[in-house]
């Protein structure tokens, strides 16, 4: 296979990987919103099988006791690791978490929802590995493409391990947040390496520094918003557990100030992107990549506002939760790609007026 064909293969695989990552985030949102995170009590298998059961009759009689003991042992190892790194308070929290002792009842829907999520994750990991292999076709021209592609594979391995911890700790909030942030990092690296590969050797340069700064600020605020959103979800989970899944109308009002922070950040995002829209419109041509990305960003923000309203006033319907999570990551991905195009506006793409 020639170097040129390997490069084309890398770009296609990387683009497919980015799409798969968005699908994976949607699947993770469905898992979270439907409470299916513990649908498979073990990892990487599901109830000790590569293809999970569809009926409780297919499970061993002592499956509850078995998987509780496995989780306890895994959590002890994780707590020891936390002790080693000096996080004794978090380690003690895990050791004293009595919810670990409560076995999950088998639910075929939740089991297969989590299994499909893991399957999409495995396929995404395979494509990330393929992207890393074909990235070496760029090593003579840009060493950072293979370096970051390999780094992404390493992060995915950490993410897979963290996924096992998420399961064994019964979705401890801080671990779920880190899990989400790592997913964002993997997505950013994939988008970044794709962009560099596509624009390698083309003339580029910063058109307007103010536009670049505003785009960077918009991106950072979106990351903060994702963190706040994850924390809102964690508080909602805690309230739902306390109320045993009932009184959904009261969940939003019971989570405290974090929801207000989340809503206030949404306003900042809207204002920032309006300013960015005006700057992009001023400094880039009507049919440029930058204007197209900016228009798509505005569309995503509008849809995000709609799903946020639905979540707030219609008792957090699960489908809206999943879509809201997906839109937040699509917004991040679009803003990141827009920032890259503003930082290195390619002449051949019609980036300038």
What burial class does residue 96 get, using C-beta atoms within 10 Å of its C-beta: 0-12 exposed, 13-18 middle, 19+ buried?
exposed
Among the listed residues 172, 202, 164, the one whose alpha carbon sits nearest the alpha carbon of residue 93: 172
- CA dist 82 → 87, 178, 267 (Å): 5, 15, 38
Q: How confident is the model at residue 172 (pLDDT cuts 50, 70, 90)?
A: low
What confidence score (pLDDT) does residue 319 get? 85
Give yes or no: residues 192 and 246 share one domain: no
Residues 74 and 137 occupy one common structural domain: yes
Residue owning tokens 């911890």: 165
Q: Facing residues of 46 across strands?
A: 49
> In this structure, are 96 and 172 located in the same domain?
yes
Q: CA-CA distance, 64 to 42, in Å (whole number)?
A: 11
Domain boundary among 201, 233, 257: 201
SS3 at position 146 = helix
Closest CA relative to residue 241, chosen from 39, 42, 102: 102
Tell me the pLDDT band of 350, cut-offs 50, 70 and 90.
very low
CA 34, 26, 234, 266 torsion-angle sign? negative
Q: Does 126 score more than 70 pLDDT?
A: yes
Mean pLDDT, range 242-251, rounded to an integer: 56
How many domains, the chain?
Answer: 2
Question: 265 with 348, same domain?
Answer: yes
Tell me the pLDDT tens digit for each residue of 300-335. 999 999 998 888 777 677 788 889 889 999 999 999
- Report d(CA 59, CA 42) in Å as an integer: 13
| Full domain range(s) for residue 326 | 204-353
Averaged pLDDT, 84-94: 79
**Looking at the structure, do residues 187 and 297 belong to the same domain, yes or no?**
no
Same domain, 126 and 177: yes
Matching residue, tokens 């880039």: 284
Predicted confidence band of residue 243 (pLDDT cuts 50, 70, 90): low
The per-residue pLDDT for 268 is 93
Task: Give residue 203's pLDDT.
Answer: 59
Beta bridge mates, 49? 46
Residues 121 and 15 in one domain: yes
Burial class of residue 36, CB neighbours in 10 A (0-12, 13-18, 19+): buried
- State which of 176, 201, 226 marks the end of a domain: 201
Mean model confidence pLDDT for the chain: 84
**Which residues, at least 6 apart from 95, have a Cβ–Cβ distance to it below 8 Å?**
75, 76, 79
pLDDT for the residue numbered 231: 76
In terms of domains, do 261 and 144 share one? Answer: no
Task: Match 């959590």 to its residue by tokens.
Answer: 75
User: Domain ends where: 201, 223, 238?
Assistant: 201
pLDDT of residue 104: 72
User: Is residue 77 pLDDT above 90, yes or no?
Assistant: no
306 and 245, same domain (yes or no): yes
The reported pLDDT for the residue numbered 69 is 82
SS3 track for 33-56: HCCCCCCCCCCCCECCECCCCCCH
**If pLDDT is split at 50, 70 and 90, which confidence band does 146 have?**
very high
Close Cβ partners of 134 (under 8 Å, ≥ 6 residues apart):
6, 7, 9, 10, 13
**Is residue 299's pLDDT more than 70?**
yes
Task: Compute the distance between CA of residue 312 and CA of residue 267 in angstroms, rounded to an integer.
Answer: 15
Based on the fold, state whether residues 152 and 235 are members of the same structural domain. Answer: no
Same-domain check for residues 172 and 282: no
Same domain, 266 and 142: no
pLDDT of residue 42: 78
Nearest to 233 by CA among 262, 191, 273: 262
pLDDT at 50 over 70: yes
**Does position 228 have pLDDT exceeding 90, yes or no?**
no
Phi, psi values for residue 49, rounded to 5°:
-125, 150
Of the given ranges (71-75, 134-138, 287-291, 338-342), which has the lowest mean pLDDT?
71-75
Half-sphere exposure of 309 (CA within 13 A, CB side): 6
Residue 136 pLDDT > 90: yes
């Amino acid at each position: 296979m020639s170097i040129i064909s390997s490069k084309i293969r890398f770009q296609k695989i990387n683009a497919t990987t980015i799409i798969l990552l968005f699908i994976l985030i949607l699947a993770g949102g469905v898992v979270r919103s439907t409470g299916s995170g513990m649908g498979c009590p073990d990892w990487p298998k599901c109830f000790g099988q590569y293809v999970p059961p569809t009926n409780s009759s297919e499970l061993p009689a002592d499956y509850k006791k078995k998987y509780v003991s496995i989780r306890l042992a895994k959590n002890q190892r994780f707590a020891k690791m936390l002790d080693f790194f000096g996080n004794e308070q978090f380690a003690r929290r895990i050791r004293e978490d009595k919810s670990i002792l409560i076995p999950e009842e088998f639910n075929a829907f939740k089991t297969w929802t989590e299994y499909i999520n893991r399957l999409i994750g495995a396929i995404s990991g395979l494509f990330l590995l393929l992207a890393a292999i074909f990235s070496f076709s760029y090593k003579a021209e840009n060493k950072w493409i293979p370096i970051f592609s390999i780094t992404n594979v390493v992060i995915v391995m950490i993410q897979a391990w963290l996924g096992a911890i998420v399961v064994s700790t019964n979705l401890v909030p801080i671990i779920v947040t880190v899990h989400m942030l790592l997913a964002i990092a993997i997505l950013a690296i994939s988008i970044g390496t794709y962009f560099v590969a596509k624009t390698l050797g083309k003339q580029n340069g910063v058109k307007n520094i103010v536009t670049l700064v505003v785009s960077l600020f918009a991106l950072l605020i979106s990351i903060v918003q994702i963190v706040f959103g994850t924390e809102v979800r964690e508080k909602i989970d805690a309230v739902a557990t306390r109320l045993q899944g009932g009184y959904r109308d009261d969940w939003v009002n019971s989570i405290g100030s974090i929801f207000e922070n989340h809503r206030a950040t949404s306003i900042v995002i809207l204002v920032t992107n309006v300013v960015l829209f005006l700057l992009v419109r001023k400094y880039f041509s009507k049919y440029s990549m930058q204007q197209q990305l900016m228009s798509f960003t505005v569309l995503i923000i509008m849809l995000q506002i709609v799903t946020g309203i639905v979540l707030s006033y219609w008792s957090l319907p699960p489908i809206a939760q999943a879509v809201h999570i997906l839109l937040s990551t699509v917004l991040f991905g679009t803003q990141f790609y827009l920032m890259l195009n503003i930082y290195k506006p390619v002449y051949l793409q019609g980036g300038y007026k």
